[in-house]
Amino acid sequence: MPHFAVDESAHAHRKVMRAGNAAFGLWVRFGSYACDHLTDGMVPAEIAAMYGTAPQLAKLTKLGMLHGAGHDCPRCAQPEQGDYVLHDYLGPNPSRAVVEQRREKAAEKKREQRAAAESKKNRDGNEDDSSANRDGNAHENASNRPPLFEDFPGQEGASPGDSSQTRARPRPSPSPSPASPPEKLASKGARSAAAGPDIPDFGRPLVDQMTAAGMVVSWRLSEVEWFAIHAHIKRSSVAAMVTFIRERWNPADPPKTARYLTRIWSDMPDLPEGTPTQPPPLPAAVGSDVVPFRDRQQQASDDMFDRAMARAQARMQQKETS
């Protein structure tokens, strides 16, 4: 049977990070349904309503991972009213016609093998093959089996409005790519003064500004976790990430590792156009006798993030009640 193809880098793709675990899980479940029933990526309205919620469907449609009736994607078929279609399902995943053709071809080969075995049995008059014949038959059967997995590693192609989508090429071995995340991980000599792990070049400004603000955590992270932090920096900025954490920092109970911060940054909205990318001025030392200076630009930035956080919390509450 066919298998729904998911790219190895899907876990850190910007669309998946924006969709969140619940909506991404729904997308994968739709893909499994389409493979099981050979619908060529179509998802009936009753299945969509049974598996997902209205906010999840709306989020997948807005991100271009799912299309409803009347969509304008030239590569995807038009579903019936109320139904959905997975974006770029065909290509990475075989069509119904291709799957049925492969099944018929595999069945025909099996019939030919059985007929040849029966003919040989009649000629020899002996039901037991020699060990050499048995080994040869086993090798022939193994070479004629249909592949367990499809050739394509995952979804490909960009949806409308997605002009910066990136995809990792299939790697010949499970060893990490030297160029992943997109900017090479920093030289082995770059280490944090506080924790001592290797810090990528793109993560150095974030670590330095967090430390300067008195927010010291362990930065001993895996390559995958640095990849996620790189995606947060690209979609917002280092200054926005520092401000977002500082507003929520509890000196009485600080986190011990930056791994906890990555979950908080996942809820941070994209940085609107025109927002300053430089961090606000910080005091030389944070203490009870030091009051940070807050100019108009900083106040406006803080107000913007407060409003964005309020909208994010409202969306989370709506998701929980739906």
Query: Of 309 and 190, which is predicted with more confidence?
Result: 309
- 158 and 285, same structural domain? no
Check pLDDT > 90 for residue 54.
yes
Which of residues 110, 143, 162 is at a domain's end? 162
- The mean pLDDT value for 191-215 works out to 76
Which of residues 132, 162, 192 is at a domain's end? 162
- 210 and 154, same structural domain? no
pLDDT value for 314: 72
pLDDT value for 227: 82
Please give the mean pLDDT across all residues of the chain.
74
Domain that holds residue 146: 1-162
The reply to whether 176 falls in a domain is no
- 206 and 147, same structural domain? no
CB-CB neighbours of 105 under 10 Å: 12
- 124 and 34, same structural domain? yes
Which residue in 60, 61, 78, 77 sits closest to 69, CA to CA?
Answer: 78
Residue 183 near residue 223, CB atoms below 8 Å: no
* Number of domains forming the structure of the chain: 2
Query: Of 137 and 207, which is predicted with more confidence?
Result: 207
Contacts 24+ apart (CB under 8 A), 226-229: 226/181, 226/185, 226/200, 227/12, 227/180, 227/181, 228/12, 228/17, 228/262, 228/266, 229/203, 229/258, 229/262, 229/265
pLDDT value for 253: 85
pTM here is 0.38
The reply to whether 187 falls in a domain is no
Question: How do residues 99-141 score in pLDDT, each as one tens digit?
Answer: 889 999 999 999 999 999 988 888 877 655 555 555 555 555 5
- 131 and 27, same structural domain? yes
Check pLDDT > 60 for residue 28.
yes
**Residue 152, C-beta contacts closer than 8 angstroms, at least 6 positions apart:** 5, 91, 92, 93
pLDDT value for 256: 87
Burial 226-261 (b: 16+ CB within 10 A, else e): bbbbbbbbebbbbbbbbbbbbeeeeeeeebeebbeb
- 202-to-65, 226, 262 alpha-carbon distances in Å: 29, 9, 15
Which of residues 162, 187, 219 is at a domain's end? 162
